[in-house]
Amino acid sequence: MAAWLLFYQILSLSIFLCPSHSADPDPLQDFCIADLKDSPSVNGFPCKPASTVTSEDFFFDGLSREGNTTNAFGTSIKQGNVLAFPGLNTLGISMNRVDFAPGGINPPHSHPRATESGVVIKGKVLVGLVTTGNVFYSKVLTRGQMFVVPRGLVHFQQNVGEGKALIFTAFNSHFPGSVLLATNLFGSKPSIPDDVLAKAFQVENSIIDGIKSKFGA
């Protein structure tokens, strides 16, 4: 009996002392400009020597220009993550720029390592997300309006306005990762067996082959 009591006391103490972190771990120094030429260590990249750090390391203009939306999805995604902007290394944040042609979509996807927030800069955008309980939430947003997507949940955006649309998104990870559902399932290398996908989606193998062919598998 006493042993169980002790067990529960230790358990509740450990839960209290070790809250789960929902974002990247806190850095223990002011900055750590990533040295991308070195291989990633367990959590992030090694730091450039502080003596070689310049102002340029803290600025990034990769999100300043409109992207090319001439593609199957009618969307361009420019990523401002640690790979593009090494100054973000260990800081637990990053941003994307998403340009949409009329009707363009940022297809259903999830970020395994980050919660996302976003703001519409131009146009009219349908933002949707689905919970782990398969409940769909959505809203059409216009300029200045903001959204949030809890970490890991499947979500998408679609330009439902007449003209172009533009959003900026922000993440609580320097490298949120993106699981693009369609590509993940139908364009993986090597391919997931047709039988598995046919059963999962309750369709014939030929339909699976048809979808796979569109994702280069």
Residues that bind ligand NAG (CB under 6 A): 68, 70
Query: Under the phi-then-psi rule, with left for phi > 0, alpha for psi from -120 to 50, and beta for the rest, what region is 216?
Result: left
Is the Cβ of residue 89 or residue 106 nearer to ligand NAG in the bound state? 106
Tokens of 11: 């358990």
Q: Which helix (H) or strand (E) holds 183?
A: helix 181-186
Residue 74 C-beta: closest distance to ligand NAG, Å: 11
Give the nearest distance from C-beta 65 to ligand NAG in angstroms.
11
21 assigned to a ligand binding site:
no
Residue 214 C-beta: closest distance to ligand NAG, Å: 16
Structure tokens at 129: 């997300």
Nearer to ligand NAG, 70 or 134 (CB): 70
Report whether 96 belongs to an annotated binding site. Answer: yes
Paired residues of 44 in beta bridges? 41
Q: Which is nearer to ligand NAG, 38 or 66 (CB)?
A: 66
Residue 155 marked in a binding site: yes
What's the token pair of residue 194?
Answer: 């047709």
**CB closer to ligand NAG out of 41 and 70:** 70
Kindly state the smallest distance separating residue 60's Cβ from ligand NAG, in Å. 21
Residue among 40 and 67 whose Cβ is closer to ligand NAG: 67
Residue linked to tokens 């260990």 = 90
Kindly report the backbone phi and psi dihedral angles of residue 182, in degrees, each rounded to the nearest multiple of 5, phi listed first. -60, -45
Closest listed residue to residue 186, CA positions, set 204, 166, 208: 208
CB of 69 to ligand NAG, least distance (A): 8
The DSSP line for 201-214 is HTS-HHHHHHHHHH
CA dihedral (37, 43, 49, 54) positive or negative: positive
> Is 56 annotated as contributing to ligand binding?
no
Report the alpha-carbon distance of residue 15 to residue 146 in Å, rounded: 33
Binding positions for oxalate are 96, 106, 111, 116
Binding positions are 96, 106, 109, 111, 116, 155
Binding positions for Mn(2+) are 109, 111, 116, 155
